[in-house]
């Protein structure tokens, strides 16, 4: 098929060459006359055109094999060229050809040897444009990337942000109830996701025959009702389920991965599982410990000793946030309010514990 096309092109160009040769031989007598399809031309004219077409056909037939191989080699080399270079070279070539087209009206009226100037100018401008495009490929590539980024639609970014805003509540944090107070202060942003399998677990706890479990389950349901009706926060009830997974904690991890969200919990074990699975966790206990007032050794605070400690002579007091204070020698001051001097602060997994001794004893020493 390709060989046929080359032969047809040879016939066309050969006939055009015969037409030009006849015009030159007759001193331009028919230079301004239409060439093909005009029966008023002489027989010599058609003879020249026919001979030219025959010569073009023979030449194209002889050179067809070489031309096809040259085209295949060129295509293979073009395929091996990296896409950035190919695009930049094409852009430069197009710019050069555009420039030559703009200059053509200036050179079109030349005669004699100047008649070949438009062709030379086209080749020169095309080549120079291609070389400039290749040499400036880094700048052109950077410009194209910047243009594409500027025109890139934003839904993907909004979708990512939407997924990151999901806060998935587990059963323990709902029963705990502090999540409602945190939402009320506005520190929790985005959508609270309450899975249906968590609701089922809450209902099961609320229907338990054990009084303590029943009260905890009902408290959790009351907290959810408060969050939905009284607080200005978006709540999503996720109706899907992972039937192949039995444990609720494992379902929460799976859901967090699917939504690319964060699990809100105060369960120490679930916290560790999420960390191992690469799921972000918001632990209410960690938040509570972080916002407790900082007490340093050497500070003086006023407390009320309310009960005995584990060791002999110790008394126990509490700060307003529930932090335990162990007062050395405080057993004799149970039921009294007194000033104590902080001796050390211990941070444990259960929370913060402060050790102190009565200031009166310090003065006596």
pLDDT attached to residue 82: 75
pLDDT attached to residue 306: 92
Distance CA 30, CA 20 (A): 10
Instruction: Give the pLDDT confidence of 218-275 residue by residue, as tens digits.
Output: 999 999 999 888 888 888 888 888 878 888 888 898 888 888 889 999 888 888 888 8
The rounded radius of gyration (Å) of the Cα atoms in the chain is 44
* Residue 298: C-alpha distances to residues 240, 254, 309, 328, 333 (Å): 55, 48, 21, 15, 21
Burial category of 294 from C-beta neighbours within 10 Å (exposed 0-12, middle 13-18, buried 19 and up): exposed
Residue corresponding to tokens 């291609």: 130
pLDDT attached to residue 356: 92
Q: Domains in the chain and their CATH numbers?
A: 1-150 (no CATH), 166-290 (3.40.50.1010), 295-363 (2.40.50.140)
Q: In 58-88, which positions are buried (b, 16+ CB within 10 angstroms) versus exposed (e)?
A: eebeeebeebeeeeeeeeeeeeeeeeeebbb
In this prediction, residues 88-112 reach a mean pLDDT of 80
Instruction: Give the pLDDT confidence of 13-63 residue by residue, as tens digits.
Output: 777 777 777 666 664 444 444 444 444 456 677 777 787 778 877 887 878
Distance CA 140, CA 119 (A): 28
Q: Could you tell me which of 191, 194, 201, 170 has the C-alpha nearest to residue 264? A: 170
| Orientation angle between helical segments 117-135 and 83-107, nearest 10 degrees | 150
Distance CA 105, CA 204 (A): 89
Say which DSSP state 287 is in: H
* Residue 81: C-alpha distances to residues 74, 76, 87 (Å): 11, 9, 10
Predicted structure pTM score: 0.46
């Amino acid at each position: 098929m390709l060989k046929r096309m080359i032969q047809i092109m040879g016939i066309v160009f050969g006939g055009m060459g015969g037409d030009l040769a006849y015009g030159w031989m007759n001193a331009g007598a028919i230079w301004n006359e239409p060439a093909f399809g005009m029966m008023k031309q002489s027989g010599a004219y058609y003879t020249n055109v026919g001979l030219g077409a025959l010569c073009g056909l023979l030449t194209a037939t002889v050179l067809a094999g070489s031309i096809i191989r040259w085209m295949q080699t060129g295509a293979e080399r073009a395929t091996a060229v990296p896409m950035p270079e190919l695009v930049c070279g094409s852009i430069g070539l197009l710019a050069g050809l555009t420039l030559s087209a703009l200059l053509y009206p200036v050179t079109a009226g030349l005669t004699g040897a100047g008649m070949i100037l438009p062709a030379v100018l086209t080749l020169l401008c095309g080549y120079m444009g291609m070389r400039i495009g290749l040499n400036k490929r880094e700048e052109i590539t950077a410009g194209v990337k910047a243009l594409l980024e500027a025109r890139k639609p934003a839904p993907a970014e909004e979708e990512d942000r939407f997924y990151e805003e999901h806060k998935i509540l587990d059963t323990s944090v709902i029963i705990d109830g502090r999540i409602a107070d945190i939402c009320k202060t506005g520190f929790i942003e985005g959508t609270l996701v309450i899975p249906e399998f968590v609701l089922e677990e809450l209902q099961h706890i609320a229907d338990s025959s054990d009084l303590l479990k029943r009260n905890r389950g009902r408290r959790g349901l009351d907290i959810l009702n408060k969050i939905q009706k009284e607080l200005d926060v978006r709540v999503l009830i996720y109706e899907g389920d992972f039937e192949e997974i039995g444990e609720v904690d494992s379902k929460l991890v799976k859901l967090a991965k699917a939504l690319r969200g964060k699990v809100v919990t105060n369960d120490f074990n679930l916290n560790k599982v999420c960390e191992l699975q690469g799921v972000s966790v918001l632990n209410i206990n960690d938040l509570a410990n972080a916002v407790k007032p900082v007490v340093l050794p050497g500070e003086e605070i006023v407390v009320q000793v309310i009960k005995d400690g584990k060791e002999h002579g110790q008394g126990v007091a509490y700060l307003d946030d529930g932090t335990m204070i162990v007062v050395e020698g405080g057993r004799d001051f149970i039921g009294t309010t007194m000033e104590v001097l902080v001796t050390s602060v211990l941070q444990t997994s259960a929370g913060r514990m402060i050790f102190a001794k009565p200031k009166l004893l310090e003065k006596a020493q």
